[in-house]
Amino acid sequence: MAINLPPKTVALAAVAPTEGSAPAPPSVMNPAAVGEMLFNTMVLYGPTGSRKTSQIRELAKYVYEKTGKKTRLLTMDGGGYGTAQDYISAGIIDVWRLVEEERPLPMLIEASKGRFPKDLQGGLRKSNSLAKDMGDVGAYAIEGWFSIANAAMRYLVGKGLKINEDVVSKFSERSDFGEDISFGAPSRGHYGFVQNLILDLIRNFSGLSLERILYTSLEGKGEDKITKGLTYGPATAGGAITAAIPQYVGDCLHLEDFQVDKGVDKDSGAKLKETQVRAWFTSHPDPQTGVMWPAKCRIIPSKVEAFKKVMGPSGYFNLNDKSLYDYLKAQDELLTAGTQDVLAWKAQVDEARKKLAEGK
């Protein structure tokens, strides 16, 4: 059976940063500082069970077809990755279960710089050996922002570390094994620290020369500091950057559950429902509150309508019909087509200028 391989080059490939050329560390107040990181990054966010992990499988499928390279999955989530197990078993996805690490945060920083265990079994690191070998790697998938933020917050509180402000209501209890265990609540300084940690990780991963970098997260709700109104977006630590963090990635897809009528059960007479998922690539209002969920697609302006025609005229696609594989393929093909349009226009302009110079 013939396989139609994706295009091997796209318009944006030339601007990929090389190792060591990553932009300066971003801050929440300076989104312009991460403009160079947008070329190949994206986030999928949605409620639990909205098929985020299954779309990592679709990412790996597309990247392998296009480049012949594998995808690395770094997971801080505890929900498992069974929907991608066939690609893991086939060696197309390598999994590092960072959530199982004794010190997950230092290992996550190492991973964000391209270091990866040489000896993995069932996603677990079996030795202390890490290597920066990226030759056969085409993409990274990182699960997930919310889990990383929670792990960082637990670490800071557990250690009783002061970040501008002390841990709130700190106390210790001795376990039956003679270990003093710290308890408490994070302060505003801890939230700010973790938010910037997430942005620093985005910076580090974006400094790797890869085809795609995919993050996942749960849904989050915050408050606008000026209007005091609700804001929605990917969940991290607190609500301060909930609506702002999509600025730090190129594509932002919101996964939304909805119910479809499937008739009536012939035995019980009960109405049957099926949960399906929409993947929004344009911002849209919440059906209950009207608050906007952020979403965006990285596509050149001349191909926006063509992209919608392929993926969904209303700004979303149903994961029962299409997937992230189709999204990435359409995106790359239209970028390539747009480049060809510009080259044709350039040739016409150059020819007209040549004739004018020759006095014709």
Question: Which is nearest to 16 in space by CA: 38, 34, 46, 32?
Answer: 38
What per-residue confidence (pLDDT) applies to 96? Answer: 94
DSSP letter string, 283-332: -EE-TTT-PEEP-B----GGGHHHHHHHH-TTSEEETTT--HHHHHHHHH
Per-residue confidence band for 139, with pLDDT thresholds at 50, 70 and 90: very high
The whole-angstrom distance between residue 36's C-alpha and the CA centroid of its chain comes to 16
What per-residue confidence (pLDDT) applies to 10? Answer: 31
Per-residue confidence band for 209, with pLDDT thresholds at 50, 70 and 90: confident
At which residue do the structure tokens 């702002």 appear? Answer: 244
Per-residue confidence band for 171, with pLDDT thresholds at 50, 70 and 90: low
What per-residue confidence (pLDDT) applies to 43? Answer: 95
Span 104-118, mean pLDDT? 91
In whole angstroms, give the CA distance from residue 172 to residue 181: 5
Cα 323 to Cα 42, 316, 328, distances in angstroms: 14, 11, 9
Q: What is the CA radius of gyration of the chain?
A: 23
Domain positions in the chain are 11-260+274-357
pLDDT tens digit string along 236-295?
877 666 777 888 899 999 999 988 898 888 888 888 988 899 999 999 999 899 999 999
Whether 111 shows a pLDDT value over 60: the answer reads: yes
Whether 6 shows a pLDDT value over 70: the answer reads: no
What per-residue confidence (pLDDT) applies to 301? Answer: 92
Question: Residue 245 corresponds to which amino acid?
Answer: I
Q: What integer best gives the mean pLDDT of the chain?
A: 82
pLDDT tens digit string along 113-133?
999 998 898 899 988 888 888
The whole-angstrom distance between residue 338's C-alpha and the CA centroid of its chain comes to 25
In whole angstroms, give the CA distance from residue 78 to residue 97: 9
pLDDT tens digit string along 311-326?
999 999 999 999 999 9
